[in-house]
Amino acid sequence: MVGRKAKLAEAQRAEIANRVQEGDALEAKVRTKFLLIADELKTKTEGTSLWNVFTTQLLLPLIAELGARTYELVTGQDLLISNSSTYRNFLTAFPDDDRGKISILLDRFIDPSDIEIRSYILRHLHARFLIDALQLSNKNLSSLRSRISERIDITVFADTNFLFSLLDLHDNPANEAVQALQKITQEMTSNVTLKLYVLPITIDEARHTLSNYEQQLAGVDLSAHLGKAAESRYSDLSGIAAKFVKASQKTKWRLSPKEYFSPYINNLLPIARSKGIEIFNEDTSYLKTDLEVVDDLLNRLDYEKRKFPERAKSYETIEHDVVLWHFAKRKRPPTLESPLDAQFWVATVDFRYLGFDAFKRRHEHQQNTIAVCIHPSILVQMLQFWIPRNSEFETALLNSLRPMLPRSFDPSAEKITLAILRAISRFENIDDIDEGTIASVLMDRAIRQRMANSQNLGEQVDIVKEALIIEAETTKTRNTKEREALAESLKIRENEVEKLTLALKEAEEGKAKTLADSIAKIEEERAASRILHDRLLRLEEQELHRKEKDKVRLIRTRLLFYCLTLVLATLAIVGFLSWQFFILPLPWIAEILALAGLTWFIEAQGKKRPEIVTWKIFLAFSKFSGFIKAGLGLLGTTLLGPYLYDVMKNRIDFLHLLK
């Protein structure tokens, strides 16, 4: 504390600076993702400008409204907030043909599964909650603090459209918020319990609504191909009809309304129970004759006819809404100090129903009356005091923004779109027609006007058939022209590329020439080096070949030397023996054996040494070795036979002499 001013510690100041830097870096990343989606969708509005308008005129105001609704709930004050016009005002700032793309952009951008986008939006949301929390009175804070530690029981009665969102039966921005609410109720602390119920009249109302749509869509049998083509007119369809069209895209056959709606009409309660919602089996028929209920019913009928002449709710729908409202209201204690004491609520995603609730509160005699109807996004905000902060809860918080981006709906446009789809679905070969052709027929204003003026199905089929034929021819002509235009454009671009290439070639000729000379010199040096290298390799190969030849020559010379030495040695021995002892056969027999051994030795060397096996002399020797061996054998037998005969004869004669 310096004087009367507080001074933050350096560590805290550094931490704040780091968080500011983190926030700036996060915003830069998120902005980049936003701009990439905008570029992909090819919005006419420039990306950076669109981002600035989005943050200042939509995101921050929506967060402020969400915070204000939560503030209203906690304090019990009536801020007179009904269906938000912020989103519609935001869209009117853009051209008509750009609004559809921007709606898709916002739907894709507000993605709870993206951690960075989720963190960016939640930072703003938490900052807004902090600002609103600072405005709470001490009384509200004390009450809230004490109730958080106490046990709280919350009973929620589902309105028909809430039930449809939970079962994913209609295309509504609140679907994710309702389904997220159902998931997080399973993670609450022991101090709070939230139970979802549905009254029998709501089950009946839901079945009645689905049966009406089954009849309204009768004859609109959609294949996956036709369902995808109908995407261009989603904005014309009510939530339930749009969901039917989307469901047809996932089938491998034509999906009929009866096939789609019958399982829900016949098994609505078991399906609801599978989603965690139970029947609150209590009679409400007495309320239909209650004077206060009847007055509210008549007043609401009159208001609907004046305010929404073409889209006014039916008597049965208003009766259900009023009875459900009074039933929940009378379940509460007469006096409520805080919304946390209310216990009984009606959960709805119908802003007109929420408007009725706001009207009733404004005309109550008591001050600061607590709402009976509550939007699931506000209920999620209230439950944050008892739910652990995790990714699923943050996803639920982010999804609470989606219901504030409502879809527009025109019943007359839906009627025409369904009439066109009904007529198209009667053609058997419709899947052979291009999706773009079908989408063009659905979008064509002249065809839609003709369909609006015709009530005869046969005439409508003829109108659609004629339109499909014309559109197919138009598409064919358009494709031909586009193909020709693309070919011409390609030719022009090729000419431009050729000119640019020539100019570049001329501009770089001087440098190219110098570079070419340098490259030529380098190539000459490389060629000379390669020649020297090749010559060196040849010399090395020649030297290696010479050494190999010398080695072979040496081995062969040694073999010849050994053979000649052996032959001469045996001849010398034979000559010596013949001269010394005059025994002629034995020396020659020894010579024959020596020659036989020499033959074996030469063959063994040839098999063992590759230098000898390819020698011409050895090959010639191998060719005649068989004859040599046979000759030596014959010669040896010739010499040895007579010698042995003489020896044996002399032996016998000697034995006779002894006798």
* Beta bridge mates, 347: 158, 374
Q: Which amino acid is at 313?
A: K
Asked if residue 227 is part of any domain, the answer here is no
Give the pLDDT confidence score for residue 616 in this predicted structure.
73
Within this chain, do residues 32 and 108 fall inside the same structural domain, yes or no?
yes
Query: Which of 22-36, 37-51, 183-197, 516-530 tops mean pLDDT?
Result: 22-36
Tell me whether residue 401 is exposed, middle or buried, using C-beta atoms within 10 angstroms of its C-beta: 0 to 12, 13 to 18, 19 or more: buried
On the question of pLDDT at 170 being above 60, the answer is yes
Q: Is the dihedral of CA 324, 328, 334, 338 positive or negative?
A: negative
Residue 252 contacts by C-beta under 8 Å, 6 or more apart in sequence?
A: 224
Q: Which residue has the higher pLDDT, 431 or 321?
A: 321
Instruction: Please list, residue by residue across 211-237, b when 16 or more beta carbons sit within 10 angstroms of its beta carbon and e when fewer do.
Output: eebbebbeebbbbbbbbbbbebbbbbb
Whether residues 283 and 332 fall in one domain: yes
Q: Round to whole Å and give the CA distance between 421 and 219.
A: 9
Q: Which of 369, 374, 332 is nearest to 353 (CA)?
A: 374
Asked whether residue 430 falls in the same domain as residue 474, the answer is yes
412: enclosing H helix or E strand: helix 411-424
Reported as a single tens digit per residue, the pLDDT across 38-82 is: 888 777 777 677 888 877 877 777 777 666 566 555 555 544 444
Token couple for 109: 């951008």
187 falls in which pLDDT band (50, 70, 90)? low
The Cα–Cα gap between 380 and 393 comes to 9
Do 348 and 313 meet the contact criterion of CB atoms below 8 Å apart? no
Q: Is the pLDDT of residue 584 over 60?
A: no
Half-sphere exposure of 99 (CA within 13 A, CB side): 14
- What letter represents residue 556's amino acid? R
Q: Which of 349, 379, 409 is the endpoint of a domain?
A: 409
Tens digits of per-residue pLDDT, 498-555?
777 787 777 666 666 776 777 777 777 777 777 877 777 887 787 787 777 777 777 7
Report the range of poorest mean pLDDT among 139-148, 266-275, 378-387, 593-602: 139-148
293 and 348 co-located in one domain? yes
Residue 405 included in any domain:
yes
Same domain assignment for residues 614 and 584: yes
> Which region holds residue 168: left if phi is over 0, alpha if psi is between -120 and 50, else beta?
left
Verify that 481 and 397 share a domain, yes or no: no
Total of domains in the chain: 4
pLDDT digit string, tens, across residues 307-335: 888 788 889 999 999 999 999 999 988 87
Sign of torsion, CA 227 233 234 236? negative
pLDDT at 83: 47
In the chain, what are the helix, strand and coil shares in percent, each to the nearest 5?
75, 5, 20
What are 598-640's pLDDT values in tens digits?
A: 777 777 776 777 777 677 777 777 777 677 767 767 776 776 6
Task: Verify that 434 and 559 share a domain, yes or no.
Answer: no
**Would you say 373 and 344 are in contact if contact means Cβ atoms under 8 Å apart?**
no
Per-residue pLDDT for 201 more than 90?
Answer: yes
**Beta bridge mates, 196:** 156, 277
Residue 225 lies in a domain: no
Among 94-98, 276-280, 494-498, the least confident range: 94-98
pLDDT in tens, 553-575: 777 677 777 777 777 777 677 66
What is the pLDDT confidence band of residue 34, given thresholds at 50, 70 and 90?
Answer: confident
pLDDT band for position 147 (50/70/90)?
low
- Identify the pLDDT of residue 280: 93
Place of tokens 């509005």: 45
pLDDT tens-digit map of 406-420: 555 567 777 777 777
Q: In whole angstroms, give the CA distance from residue 168 to residue 162.
A: 10
Same domain, 311 and 163: yes
Mean pLDDT (whole number) for 203-226: 87
How far is the first Cα of the chain from the last one, in angstroms, to the nearest whole number?
159
Q: What is the mean pLDDT of residues 154-170?
A: 89
Secondary structure (3-state) at 196: strand
364 vs 361: CA distance, rounded Å: 5
Q: Are 188 and 383 in contact (CB under 8 A)?
A: yes
Decide: helix, strand or coil at residue 170.
Answer: coil
Neighbours of 314 (CB within 10 A): 13
Q: How far apart are CA 196 and CA 347, in angstroms?
A: 9
Sheet holding 152-158, edge to edge: 277-279, 192-198, 152-158, 344-347, 373-374
The pLDDT, as a whole number, for residue 137 is 59
> Other CB atoms closer than 10 Å to residue 335's CB: what's the count?
7
pTM: 0.60
Residue 297 lies in a domain: yes
215: in domain = no
Q: Which domain holds residue 421?
A: 413-506
Is-contact 26 119, C-beta < 8 A?
A: yes
CA angle 137, 139, 142 (to 5 degrees): 110
Task: Please state, in angstroms and rounded to a whole number, the distance separating the CA atoms of residues 580 and 414.
Answer: 140
Nearest alpha carbon to residue 57 among 93, 33, 98: 93
- Answer positive or negative: Cα dihedral of 387, 388, 394, 395: negative
Q: Is residue 395 located within the same domain as residue 461?
A: no
Same domain? 44 vs 164? no
Does 114 fall in a domain? Answer: yes
Q: Are residues 156 and 125 in the same domain?
A: no
Which of 389, 409, 429 is at the close of a domain? 409
Q: Is residue 379 domain-shared with residue 300, that is, in the same domain?
A: yes
CB 254, CB 220: distance < 8 Å: no
Higher-pLDDT residue of 449 and 390 is 449
Report the range of poorest mean pLDDT among 181-185, 187-191, 272-276, 365-369: 365-369
> Does residue 238 sit within a domain?
no
Q: How many residues does the chain have?
A: 659
Count other Cβ atoms within 10 Å, centred on residue 186: 9
What distance in Å separates the CA atoms of residue 66 and residue 81, rounded to the nearest whole number? Answer: 10
Whether 263 maps to a domain, the answer reads no
Q: Kindly indicate the confidence band of residue 299, based on its pLDDT and cuts at 50, 70 and 90.
A: very high
Residue 246 has pLDDT above 60, yes or no: yes
Among the candidates 136, 168, 192, a domain finishes at 136
